[in-house]
Amino acid sequence: MVLVYLRGFSESDLGSVYELACKTLSERYDPNMFTSISSSWPEGSLVVDSSHGIKAFLLGSLSSSVQSRVLMLAVSEDIRRRGLGTMLMRRFLEESYKKGTRVVSLEVRRNNRAALNLYNKLGFRIVEVIPHYYNDGEDAYRMQRWL
Ligand SMILES: CC(C)(COP(=O)(O)OP(=O)(O)OC[C@H]1O[C@@H](n2cnc3c(N)ncnc32)[C@H](O)[C@@H]1OP(=O)(O)O)[C@@H](O)C(=O)NCCC(=O)NCCS
């Protein structure tokens, strides 16, 4: 059994979080992006840590005084379907609400069934299709949830 706990992202997590992002996300990101996102709104960047290292993370930003956005969410493959994605999202919704945000938005690949189910369960709804949003040409759904 792996004991996990949720906490804020710190700069020393960068290496592990970047590695997890490379393993789990199809887009490639500049490592500097991770620290600049988290420093602009520290409460919006979260990790799930464990005795076996970081198992999941979420990076989010504030797009305006009333809107926040989930930029990246990933859970390590060996510990999926155990509620970590839900836990990170719920905390992000709480932090967004505390900040005065009234709507949370995100983009997700049209064929990402796992993520679509997760977001649907949490009350997100599709508001727009964005053609060719991803580098490989796949469309995205923009989803939103009111707080
Ligand atoms: C999407 C992702 C973050 C889900 O994380 P997770 O910790 O496994 O999700 P949870 O355990 O909280 O699952 C919550 C619900 O999401 C849905 N879900 C999660 N994984 C699923 C899967 N493989 N197939 C179908 N539905 C799935 C289910 O409805 C699930 O509830 P249930 O287990 O009671 O049926 C994870 O699969 C992941 O990291 N994927 C790769 C990266 C990615 O796609 N990130 C999102 C980019 S927008």
Q: What is the CATH number of the domain that holds 12?
A: 3.40.630.30
Rounded to whole angstroms, how far apart are CA atoms 16 and 55? 9
Distance between Cα 111 and ligand 1 center (Å): 13
Predicted model pTM: 0.97
First to last CA, the chain: 34
- Give residue 45 CA to ligand 1 midpoint distance, Å: 19
Written as six digits, the tokens of 87 are 């836990």
DSSP per-residue string spanning 90-133: HHHHHHHHHTT--EEEEEEETT-HHHHHHHHHTT-EEEEEETT-
Q: Residue 22 sits in which domain range?
A: 4-146
DSSP secondary structure string for all residues of 41-71: SGGGEEEEEETT---EEEEEEEEETTEEEEE
| Mean pLDDT of all residues belonging to the chain | 96
| Residue 71 CB–ligand 1 contact under 6 Å | no
Residue 5 burial by Cβ neighbours in a 10 Å radius (0-12, 13-18, 19+): exposed
Query: Does the C-beta of 58 come closer than 6 Å to ligand 1?
Result: no
Q: Does the C-beta of 121 come closer than 6 Å to ligand 1? A: yes
Establish whether residue 83 lines the binding site of ligand 1, counting it when its CB lies within 6 angstroms of any ligand atom.
Answer: yes
pLDDT in tens, 19-77: 999 999 988 889 999 999 999 999 999 999 999 999 999 999 999 999 999 999 999 99
Please state whether beta strands 45-50 and 125-130 pair in parallel, antiparallel, or not at all (unpaired): unpaired
Q: How many domains does the chain have?
A: 1
Per-residue pLDDT of 107-136, as tens digits, reads 999 999 999 999 999 999 999 999 999 999
Taking CA atoms only, the protein residue closest to ligand 1 atom 1 is 115
What is the bridge-based pairing of β-strands 103-109 and 140-146? antiparallel
